[in-house]
Chains A and B, each alone.
Chain A
Amino acid sequence: MSKPIVATASLAGCFGCHMSLLDIDDRILQLIDLVEFHKSPVDDIKKFTKMCDVGIIEGGCCNSENVENLRDFRKNCKILVALGECAIMGGLPAMRNDIPVKECLEEAYLGSPTIDPKDPKIIPNDDDIPMILDRVYPLHEIVKIDYFLPGCPPRADLIWEALLTLATGKELNIPYEVFKFD
């Protein structure tokens, strides 16, 4: 049997979940024996060229590019896993959900103390820049998500156990200490 193919992405996240994946330390050698990585920041493959077995997504959706990316993953992955609090419930970026987008942009680009007073006061609005959404959406509010791994970041041992379960079909073992929401 060929190795399961894994793709990963970070949407509106901080890459902390990917860092936590790297925290499996030397087990990463076992992991590359077990699975093949496809589109992922880990190997810098940018485009899907084949169907993947597992897509692991960190971060929620805060702009149009995130949504596009997520839909691309849903189309090209048999199983989608929401990795971490931002993917599951929006996380820190979702703290803006109660603030109108206009106010957020004005705070960031017009009113922020780090704005150079000599610069023209402009809220970036180029077609090439992804459109910011009205609020931050957890992944399962946009597409169907098959599994969820909580944590900020999810502990390396939890990610390892989940990957092992998906790759080998063994029963998922979640020790209490590795199942956390922070």
Chain B
Amino acid sequence: MSELTFFIDNKECKAKKGQTITEAARDNGVYIPTLCDYPGIRPAGTCRICTVKVNGRNMAGCTTPVEEGMIVENKTAELEDMRKAIIEMLFVEGNHMCPTCEKSGNCDLQALGYRYTMMVPRFPYLWPSREIDASMPKIVIDKNRCIQCLRCVRGITTADGKHIFGTLHRGDKTRISADPELVAAMTDEQAQKAMDICPVGAILKREVGFKVPMGKRKYDSAPIGSDIEK
């Protein structure tokens, strides 16, 4: 397989043909923050947290394939502040109350807030009115916390390939919803997978919560991305 050479912040990196910038960066020990991207599912580029400058233009790193000789800017002050702004926007756009959330400590959005030392969002809180759907046997969907990344829509399917989750409405009214029949037939494994694939606490498995004690959760002692950075 042919190998491509490209540069991230002047560091020479190697990529396999067809790899996206974020994938290749990971293999080269460079962390580009991602949120809507998830291993094993097709990237959608919905959250834009992975925005990098490619040959001077802003591009989503998770959907842009590497090309020979590409010059990528990643950890610049401008990009890092823009990423922080996206996180802050996501925090004010929903109702994210970390102290009440079962996902706290294992939440990717919160972990990015930690990584970027978000003391307070720079934008005004919107206090949207969102519902909690607790009508399903295996999971609860708390739409207050949903960031519309579509990871569940893309990644959770039945054994015969039907999508369990989908979107209702469009634009800023977009909401995640589950097909009533398919969600009713979900197994415990599928429910766990749905909870794990959700980067925030919007999809929760019923009858279990706060299982891992504080101090031992995913992002309690090491920042998100620190396992990639070399």
- Given A98-B130, A180-B114, A182-B99, 10 new contacts (CB under 8 A): A91-B97, A95-B97, A98-B95, A135-B127, A150-B120, A176-B114, A180-B220, A181-B99, A182-B101, A182-B214
Closest 10 CB pairs of A and B: A152-B99, A181-B98, A148-B119, A148-B120, A182-B104, A182-B98, A182-B99, A98-B129, A97-B127, A88-B120
The reply to whether A94 and B221 form a contact with Cβ atoms under 8 Å apart is no
A138 on interface, CB distance cutoff 8 Å: yes
Q: How would you classify the secondary structure of chain B's contact residues: helix, strand, loop or mixed?
A: loop
The answer for the CA separation of A148 and B98 in the assembled complex, in Å, is 16
Residues of A that sit less than 8 Å from B by CB = 82, 85, 88-92, 94-95, 97-98, 135, 138, 140-141, 145, 147-150, 152, 174, 176-177, 179-182
The proximity string for B residues 99-111 relative to A, scoring 1 for CB distances below 8 Å and 0 otherwise, is 1110011000010
- Given the interface pairs A82-B120, A95-B97, A174-B117, the reply to whether A181 lies near B104 with Cβ below 8 Å is yes
B180 on interface, CB distance cutoff 8 Å: no
B45 on interface, CB distance cutoff 8 Å: no
Measured between beta carbons, the chain B residues less than 8 angstroms from A152 are 98-99
Measured between beta carbons, the chain A residues less than 8 angstroms from B110 are 181
- Given the interface pairs A176-B221, A180-B114, A181-B104, the reply to whether A91 lies near B120 with Cβ below 8 Å is no
Number of A-B contacts (CB under 8 A): 64
The answer for the CA separation of A148 and B122 in the assembled complex, in Å, is 12
Of the candidates A92, A140, A148, A176, the one whose C-beta lies within 8 Å of that of B100 is A92
In the complex formed, the residue of A with least CB distance to B114 is: A179
Of the candidates A90, A95, A149, A182, the one whose C-beta lies within 8 Å of that of B119 is A149
B166 on interface, CB distance cutoff 8 Å: no
Measured between beta carbons, the chain A residues less than 8 angstroms from B97 are 85, 89, 91-92, 94-95
The answer for the CA separation of A135 and B126 in the assembled complex, in Å, is 12
In the complex formed, the residue of B with least CB distance to A85 is: B99
Measured between beta carbons, the chain B residues less than 8 angstroms from A147 are 119
The reply to whether A176 and B222 form a contact with Cβ atoms under 8 Å apart is yes
Measured between beta carbons, the chain A residues less than 8 angstroms from B124 are 141
A selection of 16 A-B contacts at a CB cut-off of 8 Å is A89-B96, A90-B125, A94-B97, A95-B97, A97-B127, A98-B95, A140-B120, A150-B118, A150-B119, A176-B221, A177-B220, A177-B221, A181-B98, A181-B104, A181-B113, A181-B114
B223 on interface, CB distance cutoff 8 Å: yes
The answer for the CA separation of A141 and B125 in the assembled complex, in Å, is 9
How near does chain B come to A145, taking the closest CB pair, in angstroms?
8
Measured between beta carbons, the chain A residues less than 8 angstroms from B117 are 174, 179
How near does chain B come to A10, taking the closest CB pair, in angstroms?
16
How near does chain B come to A81, taking the closest CB pair, in angstroms?
11
Measured between beta carbons, the chain A residues less than 8 angstroms from B214 are 182
The answer for the CA separation of A147 and B120 in the assembled complex, in Å, is 9
How near does chain A come to B120, taking the closest CB pair, in angstroms?
4
In the complex formed, the residue of B with least CB distance to A88 is: B120
Measured between beta carbons, the chain B residues less than 8 angstroms from A95 are 97, 100
Measured between beta carbons, the chain A residues less than 8 angstroms from B220 are 177, 180
How near does chain B come to A161, taking the closest CB pair, in angstroms?
13
The answer for the CA separation of A94 and B96 in the assembled complex, in Å, is 11
In the complex formed, the residue of B with least CB distance to A179 is: B114
- Given the interface pairs A135-B127, A180-B114, the reply to whether A85 lies near B120 with Cβ below 8 Å is no
